[in-house]
Every structure is written in structure tokens, then in C-alpha cells.
Amino acid sequence: MKQELRVAAYAVCVRDGAMLLARWVAKDGSKRWTLPGGGMDHGEDPYDTVIREAEEETGYAIEPLALLGVDSQRHTYPRRLGTTADFQSLRIVYEARVTGGELRYETNGSTDMAAWHPLEEVPALDRVLLVDVGLTLWRKRPAVGRTSRGAGRDGGTAAASSPL
């Protein structure tokens, strides 16, 4: 079984009772809301990753304020030629604030739009599990930097599995 690891950094941006989210477009064309952020380039610091990715996906310049925690997801999926991949996603989650820029949509990327959503409406959105993880970390600020649901559980989204 081939082992795959993806390290990414994401931002929880909340202001005036609303949360900034980006809409992720899956390979099958389905769309779900996620935290702004994404994969770390080799040699890149996660702090720099979250700043770069948030700007790419939302148009905003952000400042990470605090490390909220780290979330780890693991699942398997079929690969070509009948093999299987053991995929782990390590997601570093920061609290951040918008410091500049203007809201715009990403072009030619993994997201197709960005928007502010009132916190009370977030649970009704079609979203990836990472949104719930980020909100829990932001609200509870656990000293160990992880939610109580446990590391390594399978489940990439609130509606369906994904690598985000």
C-alpha cells in the first residue's frame, strides 16, 4: 500500500459574527465550503503557507494571530492498477485576521469563490469537516491543540469524504 502525506495550513477568520470560507471544487465537480488555506510547498513554513493560500483563494491579506491546533485525517482510496493508497492529511489551523486586500474569487485553482457566512448559518452549509474542526478549535481553544473527536478518524467532509 502506498503511503501519502499532505501537509496544509488553514485560517479561521471571523469578524462581525461571520466566518470567511472558500468554496472547494472536487474532481467530480461537487462544491463544498472549506477554510481558506491549502497545501504546503516543499521547504515552505506553514505560517507562510496560510498567508499565501488565503490570499490566493480570497484576495485578502491575512495575519495569523494564534496557532489553534493540528488536525489529522487518514483514509484509504483505490489507485490505478488495483493498488490502494493510505492517505494522511495533516492540517495546521491558525486563527487569523484580515489586514488588507479585497474579496475576490480564485481563478484556475481548487476553489471557485469566497464569501463571509454568518456563524449561525455555517452548520447548514454543504461544507468539509475541516470547517467544523476549525470552529471547534476557535471556540474552545483546547490546550492540546486538537478536538476531542480524536486523531486519525476517517471522514473528510460533513457531507462526503474528501482530502481537504
Polymer length of the chain: 164
Beta-carbon contacts of 26 under 8 Å, excluding residues fewer than 6 positions away, are: 32, 162
Indicate whether 24 pLDDT > 80. yes
**Closest Cα to residue 130, out of 78, 40, 69?**
69
pLDDT band per the 50, 70, 90 thresholds, residue 160: very low
pLDDT band per the 50, 70, 90 thresholds, residue 33: very high
Q: Please give the model's pTM, rounded to 2 decimal places.
A: 0.88
Percent of the residues in the chain that have a pLDDT greater than 90, as a whole number: 82
**Closest Cα to residue 118, out of 31, 43, 20?**
20
* DSSP conformation class of 146: S
Q: What is the pLDDT of residues 100-147, one digit of tens each?
A: 999 999 988 999 999 999 999 999 999 999 999 999 999 999 999 998
C-alpha grid cell for residue 93? 489551523
Residue with cell 462526503: 160
